[in-house]
Structure 1
Amino acid sequence: MAQVTLKADTGRPLGSRPSRRLRLEGQVPAVVYGQGEKPAHVAVNHHDLMLALHTDAGVNVVVNLEVDGGSAVPTLVRLIDKHPYKSLIRHVDFVRVSLTETIEAEVSIHFVGSPIGVKEGGVLVPARNSVQVEALPTEVPDAYELDVSALAINDQLRVSDLPVFANVTILDDPEELLVSVAVPAAEPEPEPEAEEGVEEGEAAEGAEAGTEPTEREPSEA
């Protein structure tokens, strides 16, 4: 897993107004907690934070926070508050971690290749796009790549088919379905419509049959 270094400054005033002022200055209000230590309210540079979160590791990147120029503290991003429609981060939570203790993390799955079954008319149907793993913070995989090229129609791949990384334990059920190639659902055929001329002819015949007089036997006097 990638590691990045990010500078953080303490002493920021708390409250919504000071936080808005920080954002206008290109800073992001943040809090650092965990490992039995008191939470620290800090501010980090928005541009540097965005760069830190856009490595291959995504949010699983180990962020070494240099608080007030001190020694780097290893952390992970735990909560990000994003602006509803702008590409801005409004607040972020960092949790302190020990590089010698395992953590649980969610790792993305990337399906690569073009399945044989899709070329034959099937449809690739992903069932999951991530798995939970346990590993040291620096050994969590950036992502799993799963080759689906050999999948024919009705073939499946499960958690047990994922690549194996040393010192990484996948916590999900090995038999859980990840992806399959299915036969596309057949579209229902439209019901045939009766021809207008036939319907009118049948109606006319019915009318004639209904008006035809019936022959009655003469009654006995």
Structure 2
Amino acid sequence: MSKSIQLSERTSVFKSQMKQSRKQGLIPAVLYGMGKDTISVEVNEKEVLDVLRKNPRAILQAVTSEAGVVPVLIQSIQRDTLTGKLIHIDFHHVNMSESMDSKVTIHFAGEAVGVKAGGVLQVEMYEVEVRCMPDQLPSAMEVDISGLAIGDQLLVSDLIFRDGVKVLSDPHAVMIQIKTLQEEEA
């Protein structure tokens, strides 16, 4: 929770006003959760893009004039379908004393032995759902796949998280597998 982000109360309610705000680098957003009223806010686009690059699921310290300093999580992001620019962001107020459900991105490291031998790497899942306390939420998990041979697969149950992190995804789900070239063509 080391990253702080400034949320300013949004006064613009009309589409034209929000379009003007976006031109000035401010993204319309809402802050909700924990039985509190929803607050319409604006956030600096550069700050959000910086957070999204480093850790999109980080718990941030949101500084607001109405709610003070509150821990938040980026719940959802709307982007323009053509340009990819941010249009709207939902921030969810996080209760630091209750466990929460979230997703953890899995990064596959190394080159599998099976790929070197002519196999094809097929990734089925890039993230898993977990439940843990907010301060124990891992930003990502790196998995070494260099030992996988042709025909091998990595299941969700093969992942080892630190204590306090419970995996909610199906433990029998295949995350990654090494297939022969003939299987891939069929």
Task: Specify if TM > 0.5.
Answer: yes
Alignment-derived partner of residue 41 in structure 2: 42
Cα pair 1:7 1:68 within 8 Å, conserved: no
Alignment partners' CA distance in 1, 2:144 and 2:10: 49
Alignment-derived partner of residue 113 in structure 2: 116
Alignment-derived partner of residue 168 in structure 1: 165
Q: 1:88 to 1:124 in 2, by over 3 A?
A: same
Q: 1:187 to 1:154 in 2, by over 3 A?
A: closer
Cα pair 2:10 2:28 within 8 Å, conserved: no
Q: Give 1:71 shift.
A: 3.0
Over alpha carbons, which structure has the higher Rg?
A: 1
- Encode CA deviations 1:120-172: one digit per residue, 9 max, x unaligned: 11111112111100012221111121111111111111112112212100012
AA matched with 2:97: T
Q: 1:5 to 1:125 in 2, by over 3 A?
A: same
1:107 paired with 2:118, answer no
TM-score, with length taken from structure 1: 0.77
Q: Give 1:187 shift.
A: 9.6
Q: Which runs of 4+ in 1 moved over 6 A?
A: none
Alignment-derived partner of residue 81 in structure 1: 78
Alignment-derived partner of residue 21 in structure 2: 22
Alignment partners' CA distance in 2, 1:70 and 1:94: 13
Alignment-derived partner of residue 129 in structure 2: 132
AA matched with 1:163: I
Q: Give 1:186 shift.
A: 7.1
Give the secondary-structure state (helix, strand or coil) at the position aligned to 2:38.
strand
Alignment-derived partner of residue 142 in structure 2: 145
Alignment-derived partner of residue 177 in structure 1: 174
Tell me which protein shows more strand as a share of its residues. 2
Cα pair 1:3 1:61 within 8 Å, conserved: no
The gaps in structure 2 that reach 5 residues or longer are none
Q: Give 1:104 shift.
A: 0.7
Q: Give 1:181 shift.
A: 1.0
Alignment length, in residue pairs?
185
The gaps in structure 1 that reach 5 residues or longer are 189-221
Alignment partners' CA distance in 1, 2:184 and 2:176: 23
Alignment partners' CA distance in 1, 2:183 and 2:101: 42
